[in-house]
Amino acid sequence: MAANTFGTRFRLTTFGESHGPMIGGIIDGCPSGLALDLEAIQAQMQRRRPGQSALTTPRDEADQVEFVSGIFEGLTTGTPIGFLIKNKDQRSRDYSNVKDSFRPSHADFTYSEKYGRRDYRGGGRSSARETASRVAAGALAAQLLDRQGICIVAYVSQVGSVICPSLPSAPNQIEVDQYLVRCPHSESAAQMQSLIEDARDTGNTIGGKITCIITGVPAGWGEPVFDKLHAVLGHAILSINACKAFEIGSGTQAAFMNGSDHNDAFVRAADGSIQTTSNNSGGVQGGISNGMPIVFYATFKPVATIQVEQQTVNSNGEQIKLKVGGRHDPCVLPRAVPIVEAMAALTLADMMLLQRSQIL
């Protein structure tokens, strides 16, 4: 573990705070010879950026990624790939009310306790701004995986009490992006949007769940015993701001089930491959991919910043009332979709490279 580095053979190290001049990172271990589609990376950045719709924060950040090393004549060279994302919208504002106050369910208090001080401007390093670096690197990792026929698609499957029914098949990104909430089921999407607008209009926020489906992963990836594929995926996903739960396959429903219902029977498919008739395993058995789609779920809490007066404590330990202004998302789920995809891509790119040294 290295705090600001994720991965073993495909590694991302990031830096940067919400209100500094820029954020960015270094990707180390990307194989040489990969032809990068920089526009596709930027397109994924647009899916995460603030201000993209009426459902998101009105902060407008261009989130332009600039690659500054490791690419020559359009191909990766095997050397570290540095990238920068300038912070465009650093408006000079008054931080006096957050400087000495601990916003409820934010990281103000815990960063102060951990480090003895904190950069209080816009949440500093604890801001979700940091996830822009993840999306840039994850979109690059996705291109490495795409060459192997691996496709990662996430979508919003729950907002508040609105739960999207099971889809007949994995949606693609175009289907997901047809709806502002990024739920590819029109009825659910409309209801979710309504809930988010209600939250926004009352200065409140709302939680939800994202489903992610990864197709094309061959059997054999994952590093038991401690680095089982779903354990590292869980690590990756739970490290995203506001994520409260990670489930693989049957997830929390497994608690209710009997073995005779839960077991996934093996069959030989028409193409000769070995498949399972159900997928309660979520594509992972014994911590190793089994060739079926990898299916996982990530629950996100409602955004902690609400436009309502709350009780809290300041840095002197005095009880105070706090009302935080500012521009925030009423629901993080739509913008979290590319972040979930990014962390999944980083995990799988690493697993792909790790597997290369397992057999003679």
Which residues in 82-121 contact its own copies (CB under 8 A)? 82, 84, 102, 104-107, 109-111, 113-119
Task: Name which of residues 187 to 226 contact its own copies (CB under 8 A).
Answer: 199, 204-209, 218-226
In the complex with its own copies, which residue's Cβ is closer, 172 or 323? 323
For tokens 């990024």, the residue is 182
Q: What is the DSSP string of 300-330?
A: EPPPS--SS-EEEEETTS-EEEE---S---S
The candidate with the shortest Cα–Cα distance to 44, out of 133, 153, 135, is 135
By CB under 8 A, which span of 41-49, 51-59, 91-99, 253-261 interacts with its own copies?
253-261
Instruction: Dig out the tokens for 185 from the structure.
Output: 């089921």
Options 285, 295, 336, 348; binder of its own copies; rule CB under 8 A: 285
Asked whether position 338 contacts its own copies by CB under 8 A, the answer is: no
Which lies closer to its own copies via its Cβ, residue 56 or residue 281? Answer: 281
Other Cβ atoms less than 10 A from the Cβ of 94: the count is: 8
- Write down the least CB distance from residue 186 to its own copies, Å: 20
Q: Site for its own copies (CB under 8 A): how many residues?
A: 156
> Is residue 143 a contact point for its own copies (CB under 8 A)?
no
According to CB under 8 A, which one of 42, 77, 97, 215 is a site residue for its own copies?
A: 77
Judged by DSSP in three states, 140 sits in: helix
Query: Residue-wise over 217-256: b if at least 16 C-beta within 10 A, else e?
Result: beeebbbeeeebbbbbbbebbeebbbbeebbbbbbeeeee
Q: How far is the CB of 173 from its own copies (least distance, A)?
A: 22
How far apart are the two ends of the chain, measured CA to CA in Å? Answer: 28
Applying CB under 8 A, among 23, 41, 98, 294 the residue interacting with its own copies is 23
Residue among 335, 342, 347, 353 nearest 139 (CA): 342
User: Among 172, 178, 186, 252, which residue sits at the site for its own copies (rule: CB under 8 A)?
Assistant: 252
Residue type, 184: P
| Beta carbon nearer to its own copies, 58 or 172 | 58
Least Cβ distance, residue 47 to its own copies (angstroms): 20
Q: Is 130 an interacting residue with respect to its own copies (CB under 8 A)?
A: yes
Spatial distance between the Cα atoms of 130 and 128, rounded to a whole number of angstroms: 5
Longest dimension (CA), the chain: 69
Q: Tokens at residue 22, please?
A: 């820029």
> Among residue numbers 146 through 165, which ones bind its own copies (CB under 8 A)?
147, 158-161
Neighbours of 80 (CB within 10 A): 15
Task: Tell me which residues in 3-22 interact with its own copies (CB under 8 A).
Answer: 3-11, 13-17, 20-22
Phi, psi (degrees; rounded to nearest 5) at 93: -130, 180
- What are 160's two structure tokens? 């508040």
| Of 150, 149, 153, the residue nearest 174 (C-alpha) | 153
Minimum distance from CB of 170 to its own copies (Å)? Answer: 20
Q: Which position among 136, 137, 306, 337 is part of the footprint of its own copies (CB under 8 A)?
A: 306
Minimum CB separation of residue 302 from its own copies in Å reads: 4
CA 262 to chain centre: 28
The Cβ of residue 69 has, within 10 Å, a number of other Cβ atoms equal to 13
Helices marked H in 69-117: 96-99, 108-115
> Binding its own copies by CB under 8 A: which of 257, 323, 325, 326?
257
Separation between Cα atoms, residue 24 and residue 129, nearest integer Å: 11
Choose which of 33, 39, 165, 174 interacts with its own copies (CB under 8 A).
Answer: 33
One-letter amino acid for residue 287 of the chain: G
Q: Which stretch binds its own copies (CB under 8 A): 51-59, 62-70, 174-182, 334-342?
A: 62-70
Please report whether residue 231 would count as binding its own copies according to CB under 8 A: yes
Of 49-57, 169-177, 183-191, 234-242, the segment contacting its own copies by CB under 8 A is: 234-242
61 in contact with its own copies (CB under 8 A): no
44 binds its own copies, rule: CB under 8 A: no
